[in-house]
Structure 1
């Protein structure tokens, strides 16, 4: 089954999807102009294979949906929403670009990444779990651990003899032991945090998805009550899983490094100083920091 998607313009599919270029081909990968990943829709697992048929200014994507059983028309609305959410395809970038124009540095970088959309997880739960995994380690190491976690606990879909893995659901990790997650390379403590959150959800005592209706301060307060979750993890969860484009994890070493590189000639800065610099990007501080991180990864210099 195929669906056509028209993202908000501008949308650079190659630039936006390239963040997944080094991904596990059995989990999530961008290669040869195609992005593929398992999605959940109506209780079914589907492999979504997405490619571009348009341009940055007139974007058009085609998503092919594959499952091990018949797909119905009733599956399409939910599947479409899942696919569009992968790269925030409905986000209008123009208001952010208007704010960026007031900052010569950000404006110079944005002009080189026009149409870049940030990824979003399908659920707040996935955003929280991946944020816990990333605590105090590099993004590269964290992504490797996340892939091992998905392979160990995720549900699978086999198509044409090849197995694909979906991100684990709360019930999958609720049944695990910290020692099991240790086998994926996670510390025992992180394993305890992840299992604790998963069990609260599986037992019906926690609804992470409902937090999206709260303001940023209340979300941070609610998440910080859980063992192993502080402000940094909560802020990253909001950016990644709630589309809070003004939320910025300013205490993150990578965010501070990128801000310092482009605004302080590489000199060390504190989280407070990073927030002060970022204040010029309101209400898009989180998205602006994503652009800075991407600019660093691409080796971009500020255009005068």
Structure 2
């Protein structure tokens, strides 16, 4: 009897080992359930992966286009195609309400300085009793501007301490700017990323300098430097661009419309409607009117040219989404909530133009510098700002 029972038990054990694999996988299955329970949100996100990330990327690309930053507009004043020593910072008279850049004639390469005006007294020397106060120069204007911003609002102090604005520094104001190149760059950079704009600009330049770059336009610009050492690649003159067929210009990666814009701009310089001297001397309102009359030039493009190329220190863009966002954060608002609430409400989702104007007016005549710092508000710990 016992022998029969033992044989039956042995048979049952043997059968279970062969036919019942359920017990061993039980632990991993339970483990997966526990893991899924503790990471439920992650699972939900994973399920949405096919659609949600694409929407986020699309939104981000829209923000890049709507929210210009210094990175996006640096191409306006950047001569990335040339290799040359930094110019010496020679002090010249400066005026926050006028052009402070040294412009180079697109036709002759002659340096054009703004028509001289009466020097304005320097605020730095105001506290010192002297018969005549020192004039504001390119060596002192940034220091005066920073002091003015801090005097108007003490919350500017940590921003200024953390970020040095080379744009209006003595070195920045000593750089030579080709206004035709700067405006061409602004057209090229419209609706594309900074990296794409640099590549297209390099190819555009290469169309007119094939002998200098061995027919390798993509190698013209690498991180802001010329890939071929000791080679200076000049930007084309307006007459060269005007005489080049649109089909040729498009081989650089330009759209049909952008190629037409560049030719139209070249015609403006060729006819004398736009010149380096006129751009340097024009009052601000006249400057905006002249530039926005050119096909392909909107107000924002004209404002960025005035700020980054002409180095005018009293420019302020009400339509710049990046400035709106920075100003909202500067006054202590939750920009993430404002962004969510502002969906579909146009460009002014962070702050209305009227409020922006009221705040920026206090920083005259150095609103360009104030705007430059508003782009960088979120890079600074705002909690350290004094109210």
Interval containing the TM-score (normalised by the shorter chain):
0.5 to 0.7
Alignment deviations for residues 139-183 of structure 1 (CA, whole Å, 9 cap, x no partner): 444344333333334698689965342333212322223333332
Question: After superposition, where does 1:138-157 map in structure 2 within 5 Å?
Answer: 138-153=193-208
Matching residue within 70, 74, 94 for 2:143: 94
The residue number in structure 2 matching 1:286 is 368
Does 2:167 align with 1:117? yes
**Bigger RCO of structures 1 and 2 (CA < 8 A, at least 6 apart):** 2
CA contact (8 A) 1:156 1:166 kept: no
Q: Does 1:222 align with 2:258?
A: no
- 5+ long unaligned stretches in structure 1: 1-18, 29-36, 39-46, 53-76, 79-87
**Does the CA contact (< 8 Å) of 2:167 and 2:308 recur in 1?**
no
**Does 1:301 pair with 2:351?**
no
Report deviation, 1:220.
Answer: 1.0
Residues 72-87 of structure 1: pairs in structure 2 closer than 5 A: none
Per-residue CA deviations over 1:73-128 (Å, capped at 9, x if unaligned) read xxxx96xxxxxxxxx96462122112211223322200112463345661322222
Q: Which has the larger radius of gyration?
A: 2
Q: How does 1:38-57 map to 2 (within 5 A)?
A: 38=82, 47-50=83-86
Which residue of structure 2 aligns with residue 187 of structure 1? 255
d(CA) in 2 for partners of 1:146 and 1:258?
A: 30
> Post-superposition shift, 1:216?
0.8
More helix per residue: 1 or 2?
A: 2
Question: For 1:281 and 1:250, how far apart are their aligned partners in 2?
Answer: 14
- Classify the secondary structure of the residue corresponding to 1:163: coil
Cα RMSD of the aligned pairs, angstroms, is 3.8
Between 108-117 and 238-247, report the one with greater CA deviation: 108-117
Return the alpha-carbon distance in structure 2 between the equivalents of residues 157 and 48 of structure 1.
Answer: 16
TM-score if structure 2 supplies the norm length? Answer: 0.50
TM-score when normalising by structure 1: 0.62
Matched with 1:170 is: 238
Contact residue 288 and residue 303 of structure 2 kept, 8 A: yes
Report runs of 4+ in structure 1 exceeding 6 Å deviation: 155-161
1:277 aligns with 2:386: no
8 A contact 2:204–2:249 mirrored in 1: yes
How far apart are the structure 1 equivalents of 2:210 and 2:140? 30
